[in-house]
């Protein structure tokens, strides 16, 4: 079989598996679903399932991420912080069940069951917390760029509080759908939008900021990956900052957001040492946050920021990394289509964004 036909067949098989899994989860629930039954529904072997997904959990996370996508047109006009927060809340609440039956109820039950599994795995729990923080940071960046006549220093606590309320509503909708009052939830989120949490950003201490190394290599990343900000293939540019972060280091992107010059292009690339299990987790957690933002925030507000999952570490290899883990923290400066500076360590994003650190050509040549 030719490579092109093999790739096409693999894609078709994966789609059949996802359709069969969604049918299985809908009819019998996630907890009772069996891989053998999913394989039978898809007219494939059990081995074909596991060649695409390492576990039922990874399959469930992928199905849930698809099911939770928000189908609303992007916003193009102006908006205030309160309007954006209300829109995000309404987008999230719109998919919650209004009774005990129906597709919405089944999606929320699947979501609830998956979070229950995540809570039982300390590594997944830590990764989930970091991913939620990343979502809050991106949400906060949008809020901070609105209402420029009433600027705020940092809105991460506001964004975190709003997402906490919405996450709680999501959870309760599965176990006690009649308890949720959408009007009250929206009103609570709207009030949080103008709450003063005395939120301040503290840059990394200079003692932990790593050196930057001068390099000169072509920047040729793969393009066949989705940008979660736009829900379209990522559009790489010839200049900007590329942050390659393990899932536990995802919140490190705030360093670059705070220190980089205004309007600087920023690409966030998430990697893991167990991508088959944890990249579906990242897609599950981030898709609902980014979907709500994408259809609530004016397009220009989220411009010049891209968020990309790198399940096969293809982007990391393009940057010269030999291995990636959930604790990877690497940042690159890109100029004229070439990598010009490199930094690695707990504050690498800060080092590249502000140009701190001594140059180390010997380390650069080794990479």
The total domain count for the chain is 3
Look at residue 113 and tell me if it is in a domain: yes
What pLDDT is stored for residue 357 in this prediction? 42
β-bridge mates for residue 341, sequence order: 214, 333
Domain contains 201 = no
Q: Do 212 and 360 fall within a single domain?
A: yes
pLDDT tens digits for the chain (367 residues)? Answer: 565 677 788 889 999 999 999 999 989 999 999 999 999 999 999 999 999 999 999 999 999 988 876 555 656 565 789 999 999 999 888 877 654 445 557 777 888 899 989 999 998 999 999 999 999 999 999 999 887 666 677 999 999 999 999 998 888 877 777 788 899 999 999 999 999 999 999 999 999 999 999 999 999 999 889 999 988 899 998 899 999 999 999 999 999 999 988 778 999 999 999 999 899 999 999 988 898 898 888 888 888 899 999 999 999 999 999 999 999 999 999 999 999 999 999 999 999 999 744 444 333 333 3
> Which uninterrupted H or E stretch holds 231?
none
Cα angle at 279 between 312 and 250, to 5 degrees? Answer: 105
Does residue 67 form part of some domain? no
Q: Is 177 exposed, middle or buried (0-12, 13-18, 19+ CB in 10 A)?
A: middle
Structural domain harbouring 164 = 81-193
Residue identified by tokens 């030999």 is 322
For residue 8, give Cα distances in angstroms to 99, 116, 267: 40, 35, 29
pLDDT at 7: 73
- Note whether 131 and 257 are same-domain residues: no
CA 134 to chain centroid, in Å, comes to: 7
Whether residue 99 contacts residue 173, with contact meaning beta carbons closer than 8 Å, is answered with: no
| 140 and 274 belong to one structural domain | no
In this structure, the answer to whether residues 356 and 235 fall within a common structural domain is yes
User: How far is the C-alpha of 164 from the C-alpha of 293, rounded, in Å?
Assistant: 15
CATH, residue 41: 1.10.10.60
Helix (H) or strand (E) holding 204: none
């Amino acid at each position: 079989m030719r490579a092109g036909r093999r790739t096409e067949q693999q894609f078709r098989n994966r789609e059949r598996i996802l359709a069969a899994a969604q049918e299985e989860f809908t009819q019998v629930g996630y907890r009772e679903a069996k891989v053998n039954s999913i394989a039978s529904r898809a007219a494939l072997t059990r081995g074909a399932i596991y060649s695409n997904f390492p576990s039922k959990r990874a399959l469930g996370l992928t199905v849930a991420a698809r099911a939770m996508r928000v189908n609303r047109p992007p916003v193009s006009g102006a908006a205030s912080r309160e309007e954006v927060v209300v829109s995000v809340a309404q987008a999230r609440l719109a998919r919650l069940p209004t009774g005990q039956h129906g597709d919405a109820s089944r999606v929320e039950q699947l979501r609830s069951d998956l979070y229950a599994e995540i809570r039982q795995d300390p590594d997944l729990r830590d990764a989930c917390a970091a991913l939620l923080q990343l979502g809050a940071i991106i949400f906060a960046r949008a809020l901070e760029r609105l209402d420029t006549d009433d600027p705020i220093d940092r809105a991460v606590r506001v964004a975190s509080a709003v997402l906490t309320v919405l996450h709680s509503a999501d959870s309760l909708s599965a176990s006690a759908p009649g308890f949720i009052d959408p009007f009250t939830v929206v009103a609570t989120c709207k009030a949080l939008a103008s709450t003063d949490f005395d939120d301040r950003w503290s840059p990394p201490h200079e003692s932990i900021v790593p050196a930057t190394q001068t390099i000169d290599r072509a920047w040729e990343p793969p393009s066949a990956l989705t940008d979660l900000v736009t829900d379209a293939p990522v559009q790489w540019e010839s200049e900007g900052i590329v942050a390659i972060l393990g899932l536990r280091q995802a919140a490190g992107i705030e360093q670059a957001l705070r220190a980089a010059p205004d309007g600087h292009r920023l690409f966030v690339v998430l990697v893991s040492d167990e991508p088959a299990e944890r990249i579906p987790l990242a897609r599950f957690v981030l898709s609902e946050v980014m979907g709500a933002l994408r259809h609530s925030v004016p397009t220009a507000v989220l411009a010049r920021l891209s968020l990309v999952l790198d399940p096969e570490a293809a982007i990391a290899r393009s940057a010269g990394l030999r291995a990636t883990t959930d604790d990877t923290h690497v940042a690159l400066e890109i100029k004229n289509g070439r990598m010009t500076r490199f930094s690695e360590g707990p504050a690498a994003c800060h080092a590249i964004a502000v140009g701190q650190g001594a140059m180390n050509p010997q380390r650069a040549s080794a990479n």
